[in-house]
Structure 1
C-alpha cells in the first residue's frame, strides 16, 4: 500500500466519525447534541495542529504541503469543515443523511482516486474512481443513517443525492484546487441540502436511466473531444439533474444543444482556426463554456422542481428552460456556421467588419441560428403534450431573442464590461425571460 493510499484511508476513518451525528442528533439537549456532533472533528482538528511533525501520525496524514509547513493543515481543514456541517445538521436542520453523505463522499472519493492511480495515471479514470467511490460511500452512509434514525428517504432519492453530490465534488476538484476538501465539502453539503428540500418523487427507473444515459454520453463527449474533463463533468451533472428534476423531454433538449453544438464547434475547425475564430482546445468545451450556456437552464430546472412550494406552475419554467437552451444552440450555430462566411456585418450599424469581430453576423449564420432554435422547439413539441404549435413558436422566438441579445451585447459591452462567457449567460437569461413572458402573455401558462 502506497503512502497516498494509506493517507486517503486514514482520512476515510476520520470521515467515518460523521456516522456519530445521526445518533447524537436525537438527544433532547441541543447544546449537548451540538458539542457531541462537532466535538470529535474539533478534536481531530486540534490533533492536526498540535501533533509533532516527526512522528508516525504526522507521516500518516501529511500531504505534500504539510511537510513544508510542519502542520497537518489538510487534516485540520477537513475536520473543521466536517465540524461546521455537523453544527448545521444539529442546530439548523440539515438532514442527517445529507450530512453523512457529504463527508463520506469526499473522504471515500479521495480514497477511490488514490486506489485508481495505483493502476493508471489517466486523469479521467482517476476522476471516475473518485465519482464511483464517492457515490458508494455516500449511498452506504445514507443507508446506515436512515436505518438509525428511521428516516423514510427511499433508495432512489439516496442514489440521486449520492450521484449528484459525487459529480459536483468531482467538478469542483477539477476546476479548483485538487485538495481543497473544505470548500468542496461545504458546497456539496449546501447543494444536497437544497435538493433534499424539493418535493421529489424519484422512481428507481428514472434514477437508473439518468445515471446510465448521462455517464455514457459524458464519456462519449470526452472521447470525441467535444468537451474537456471539467466540461464533461458539468454536462453529466446537468444531464442527471435535468432527467431527475425535470423529465426526459427536458434532457432531450439539453443533449441536443450539447451534441449539435459540440459537433458545430468541430465542423471545418482548421478553416475557422485560419480565420482566427475557432474555439480554444480544438473545440472542446470547458466547464465555463458549458455553464455559461446552461446555467440559466439549470436554474429553470431547479425552479420547476421547487415550484409546488411556491404555488407556481412548472410549465412556466419549462418555457424558460426551452427558451434558454434554444438561445444557446442558436447562438452556437450562428457563430460556428456564420463565421465561415465572408463580409459579416456589425449588428448595431450593419457595417462590414472582419470575421470574428464581436457582434458581427452573417445572414447564413442567422439562418443557422434560427434552425437551431427550431430544433429545440421541435423537440419540445414532440416531448411535451402541453406544448402545442403556439408553444413551439414561443420557443423559437425566445431563441431568436437570445441570439440577437448575444450579438448586441457582443457589439457593445463585450471586452470591456464582460467576456464572452458573461455575454452568453446574459443572452440565455434574456431568452428564458422572453420564453416565460411570451407564454404568459399568450395564455399558454399561468403566472
Structure 2
C-alpha cells in the first residue's frame, strides 16, 4: 500500500489542476476536498503517519450520509445512526487497509481511534455541516492519539463510550444539554474514563449535575430580573469544552505520566468550574448589591466581575462538594484535596477578575474566561500541593 502513495498523491494533484483550470466555477467544494485528501496523503508519505487513517476518516463521512438521510427522524435516532455506521465502516476500512499491507491490525487500538474519530466527526458535522472539516478533523484527532500510544482494553473502551453516551442522551432528554453538548460530553467522558478511570468521569458529571440543578435555582426570578442564562441554562459544546478542556488535558497527562500532580490540577479545574457556576447562579439572587471585584464599587446584579458574600459562600460550597466527592472516592490524600480546594476557589475569583477586566472590555467572552480560570486553578493548585507537603 505504501508504494501506491506517490501514485495517489499524483492523482490528487492532477484532479486539483483539472478543477482549477477547466472547471473551477461551481466546483469549489470539489477543490477543497481534493486538496484536503492530498494533504493527508502527504502527511502519510512524508511524516510516516499510518495510511489507514485517511481511509478510515473518509468512511466516517458515511455517517454524514445516513444522518442526512434520516432527516425526518428524531435527533437521537440520527446521532445513533451516525455513530453506528461511522464507527463500523471506518473500523472495517482501517483493518482492511492494514491487512492489505501485510500487517496484523491491532483491532482494539484501531477501534479506539475510529470511535474517537467518529465522535469528533459527528461533533464537527453538527457544528459546521462541512464534509471537508469533518473528514480532516476526524483524521487529525486519530493521528493525535496515535502519538500518545495508549493501550485500551476493548471492554474498557466500550464501557467508557456507552456509559458517557447514555448519560449524555438522558441529559438531552431532560433538556440539560444541547445535542452538541451530548456529543462533546461523550467525547470528554470517554477520554476521562480511558486515561483516568470512572472516578474522573464522575467528577465531571458531578460538576454538570450541580450546574444543571443550580441553574434552575429561582430561575423565574432571575428571568424576570433579566439575569438568567441564555437558553434556560442548556449547555452546548462550548460550555463543555470551556469548563472541561483543562481537566481533560490533566487526565491525558496523568494517563501518560502517572504523576499525582495532574490529579490535583484536574480536581482544581473542576472545583473552579463548579464554584464559579454556583457563585453565579446563587449569588445573583442575593439581596445585597454586588460589588466589582477590582474596585469594590456597587454594580447591578449580573454584571461581569460582580461578587457578593452569598456568591462567595456558594463558590466555597461548590468547590468543597466536588473535592469531598473526590476524597470519598479515594482520588487523593488530604494534601491533594486541600490544594485542589484552595486552587479551585482561587480560580473562581480569578474568573471574576477576568470578568471585570477582559470580559467587560470585550476582549474575552464568557467561555474564554471560564477556560482561563480553570487553567489558572490547574496551575496554582499543584504549586500549593508542593508547598504544603514540605
Give the TM-score normalised by the residue count of structure 2. Answer: 0.91
Alignment deviations for residues 378-437 of structure 1 (CA, whole Å, 9 cap, x no partner): 23223345x112211111111101111111222222221222222111111110001221
Residues of 1 paired with 2:75 and 2:385: CA distance? Answer: 45
Residues of 1 paired with 2:242 and 2:341: CA distance? Answer: 20
Equivalent of 1:92 in 33, 47, 50:
47
- Match in the other structure for 1:233: 183
Equivalent of 1:105 in 60, 71, 74:
60
Residues of 1 paired with 2:236 and 2:227: CA distance? Answer: 17
- Match in the other structure for 1:428: 374
Residues of 2 paired with 1:93 and 1:215: CA distance? Answer: 33
Question: Deviation at 1:215?
Answer: 0.8
- Match in the other structure for 1:360: 306
- RMSD over equivalenced CA pairs, Å: 2.3
Secondary structure of 1:442's counterpart equals helix
Instruction: Determine if the alignment matches structure 1 residue 371 to structure 2 residue 317.
Output: yes
- Match in the other structure for 2:94: 142
Instruction: Determine if the alignment matches structure 1 residue 114 to structure 2 residue 68.
Output: yes
- 1:225-374 paired onto structure 2 within 5 Å: 225-307=175-257, 313-343=258-288, 344-374=290-320
Residues of 2 paired with 1:424 and 1:151: CA distance? Answer: 46
Contact 1:34 1:91 (C-alpha < 8 Å) held by counterparts: no
Residues of 2 paired with 1:319 and 1:374: CA distance? Answer: 14
Secondary structure of 2:286's counterpart equals coil
Residues of 2 paired with 1:151 and 1:251: CA distance? Answer: 35
Instruction: Determine if the alignment matches structure 1 residue 419 to structure 2 residue 361.
Output: no
Question: Deviation at 1:324?
Answer: 0.6
Instruction: Determine if the alignment matches structure 1 residue 203 to structure 2 residue 153.
Output: yes
Residues of 1 paired with 2:279 and 2:335: CA distance? Answer: 24
Gaps of 5+ in 1: 1-22, 28-32, 53-68, 308-312
Instruction: Determine if the alignment matches structure 1 residue 160 to structure 2 residue 106.
Output: no
- Match in the other structure for 1:77: 32
Larger deviation, residues 97-106 vs 423-432: 97-106
- Match in the other structure for 1:8: none
Instruction: Determine if the alignment matches structure 1 residue 213 to structure 2 residue 163.
Output: yes
Secondary structure of 1:160's counterpart equals helix
Secondary structure of 1:324's counterpart equals helix
Residues of 2 paired with 1:389 and 1:273: CA distance? Answer: 40
Residues of 1 paired with 2:104 and 2:272: CA distance? Answer: 41
Question: Deviation at 1:43?
Answer: 5.2
Question: Deviation at 1:327?
Answer: 0.4
Residues of 1 paired with 2:180 and 2:147: CA distance? Answer: 27
Question: Deviation at 1:223?
Answer: 1.2
Residues of 1 paired with 2:378 and 2:208: CA distance? Answer: 18
Residues of 2 paired with 1:279 and 1:71: CA distance? Answer: 42
Residues of 1 paired with 2:41 and 2:163: CA distance? Answer: 34
Q: How many equivalent pairs are there?
A: 388
Secondary structure of 1:158's counterpart equals helix
Contact 1:226 1:266 (C-alpha < 8 Å) held by counterparts: no
Contact 2:99 2:105 (C-alpha < 8 Å) held by counterparts: no
Secondary structure of 1:328's counterpart equals helix
- Match in the other structure for 2:127: 175
Contact 2:214 2:282 (C-alpha < 8 Å) held by counterparts: yes
Q: 1:152 and 1:327, CA in 2 relative to 1: closer, same or farther beyond 3 A?
A: farther
- Match in the other structure for 1:441: 387
Question: Deviation at 1:333?
Answer: 0.7
Question: Deviation at 1:92?
Answer: 0.8
Alignment deviations for residues 84-117 of structure 1 (CA, whole Å, 9 cap, x no partner): 10111122122223232222112x1222223323
Alignment deviations for residues 347-367 of structure 1 (CA, whole Å, 9 cap, x no partner): 234343321111122222222
